[in-house]
Amino acid sequence: MVSDMPNILFIVEHVSNSWGIAANGCLKALGCTGSVIGQVEFLNKTPDLKAYTTIFNYMWRDEKIMKLLQAAKGRVVNCIASGPDMDSASLETFKANTQGFRLVGANTAKGVTILNALDADTMVFNLSHGVDTDMFKPQPIAHQGFKVGWIGRTKYPLKRFEFAQKVIAGVQGAEMVVAGNKTDPAGQPWYEHSDMPKFYNGLDVLLITSRSESHPLIALEAMASGVVVVSTNVGDLESVILNGVNGFLLPIEADENRFRLILNYLKDNPERRKGIGGLARAAVVQNWTWGRVIEPYKNIIGA
Q: What is the pLDDT of residues 73-88, one digit of tens each?
A: 999 999 998 877 788 9
CATH code of 7-129+290-301, in short, is 3.40.50
| Other beta carbons less than 10 A from residue 220's beta carbon | 25
Helices (H), 154-255: 161-169, 196-201, 217-224
Residue ranges, comma separated, of all CATH 3.40.50.2000 domains in the chain are 146-287
Query: Where does the pLDDT of residue 284 fall: very low under 50, low under 70, confident under 90, or very high at 90 and above?
Result: very high
pLDDT exceeds 80 at position 16: yes
The mean pLDDT value for 29-45 works out to 95
Looking at residue 186, its pLDDT comes to 67
pLDDT exceeds 60 at position 297: yes
pLDDT exceeds 90 at position 95: yes
Instruction: Please tell me the pTM assigned to this model.
Output: 0.92
Rounded Cα–Cα distance for residues 60 and 54 (Å): 15
Class for the domain spanning 146-287: alpha beta
| Other beta carbons less than 10 A from residue 244's beta carbon | 10
77 vs 4, higher pLDDT: 77
Q: Encode pLDDT of 247-275 as tens digits.
A: 999 999 999 999 999 999 999 999 999 99
Rounded Cα–Cα distance for residues 207 and 98 (Å): 36
pLDDT exceeds 70 at position 303: no
The mean pLDDT value for 206-213 works out to 96
Looking at residue 1, its pLDDT comes to 44
Spatial neighbors of 245 by CB under 8 A, at least 6 apart, are 276, 279
| Other beta carbons less than 10 A from residue 299's beta carbon | 10
Query: What is the DSSP code (8-state) at residue 184?
Result: B
Q: Encode pLDDT of 124-177 as tens digits.
A: 999 999 999 999 999 999 999 999 999 999 999 999 999 999 999 999 999 999
